[in-house]
Amino acid sequence: MGLFSWWRREQKPLLVTAEANPRGFKWIAGRRIANESAYALPNDLTESERLNLQHYVIRFAMRGNYVVPFWRMNTRPKDILDVACGSGRWGAEMAYEFPEANVVGIDIVAPDATSPSVTLGRPTAPDNYVLLQGDVRQGLPFPDNSFDFVHMRFLVVAIAAADWPALVREVVRVTRPGGWIELVDTVMRDAVGSPEHQQFFAWFSKMTATRGYDVAAGEHIAERLHAAGLANIKSYRLDVPIGDWGGRIGTLMRLDVEAAVTGIIAPLTQYKMATLEEAQAVQRGMSEAMKTYRGSIQPFYVAYGQKPR
């Protein structure tokens, strides 16, 4: 019996708790920011909706919620962990795809289990899905070898470059021998080149340097799996168009980028890179440029590997 196999049947209190819940929130430029969180974007309903939009884009690009070929191996994961689970939607969809599995999501602000992102339009969340609060930078609150599939994505502006190696090692620690780890991330660079884009990314570069982010995190995820000692590593780059010229997926990608830029206005003003009025004016110009510019691409990177037996 797996460590978490009793969750659905017995409905006991959680075996594992995390104490690193942020101590409240602050409001900046009209957006809610979690205290003690390294995430550069807000933590509010608007950001949750953006994360869901991003989820639809990457699910379309990947043609599913993961690329580890479980079907080819004739196996199905029994204990699944989503690290930095965001809105919680990926975990909810996985819980329905693998009803025999226990699925755990952890984030510094755990999603509301009654939110549409988690219930997926049903009366309640899947009964094999558990959400925990915890700061992954402080370690994962699980014993060694707890999960056979661990998923982590889009930490490009949530984890400082110096913290990446320890986080990946921690993910490997909680993965069972023979289990799989899948990372998905991106890069945050100017893909359009308009004057407004150039100004925004000049501010953004200064802010990310202050916080120590690796804005090219996606390019390095396969290297990080290699460095952590995983085997059978595969990696892919998926290019998604930004703008209506790219069809419906391009329009969704444009809306995601616009929403991300709007969210980043809050930390830009917090770090005094720009006034609210300056940042909003640049954001409006960026939105107009993305509606007409053709050829811009947002690259996504996917890498997975297996923990040696």
**CATH number for 56:** 3.40.50.150
Q: What does the pLDDT average to over 300-308? A: 98
Handedness of CA 156, 20, 81, 149 (dihedral sign): positive
pLDDT confidence of residue 54: 97
pLDDT confidence of residue 145: 97
In a domain, 172, yes or no: yes
Q: Measure Cα distances from 153 to 81, 82, 150, 291 in Å.
A: 12, 9, 10, 27
Per-residue pLDDT reduced to its tens digit, 66-90: 999 999 999 999 999 999 999 999 9
Sequence-distant (≥ 6) Cβ neighbours of residue 209 within 8 angstroms: none
In a domain, 2, yes or no: no
In a domain, 30, yes or no: yes
Q: Kindly state the DSSP code that residue 129 receives in the 8-state scheme.
A: E
Write out the residue range of the structural domain in which residue 78 sits: 7-187+213-240+299-306
Record the pTM: 0.91
Per-residue pLDDT reduced to its tens digit, 227-277: 999 999 999 999 999 999 999 999 999 999 999 999 999 999 988 999 999
Q: Kindly state the DSSP code that residue 213 receives in the 8-state scheme.
A: B
Query: Rounded CA gap, 225 and 73, in Å?
Result: 21
In a domain, 293, yes or no: no
In a domain, 111, yes or no: yes
In a domain, 260, yes or no: no
Amino acid identity of 196? E
Q: Name the domain count of the chain.
A: 1
In a domain, 227, yes or no: yes
3-state secondary structure of 152: strand
In a domain, 94, yes or no: yes
pLDDT confidence of residue 66: 98
Handedness of CA 11, 147, 150, 210 (dihedral sign): positive
Query: Rounded CA gap, 173 and 304, in Å?
Result: 15
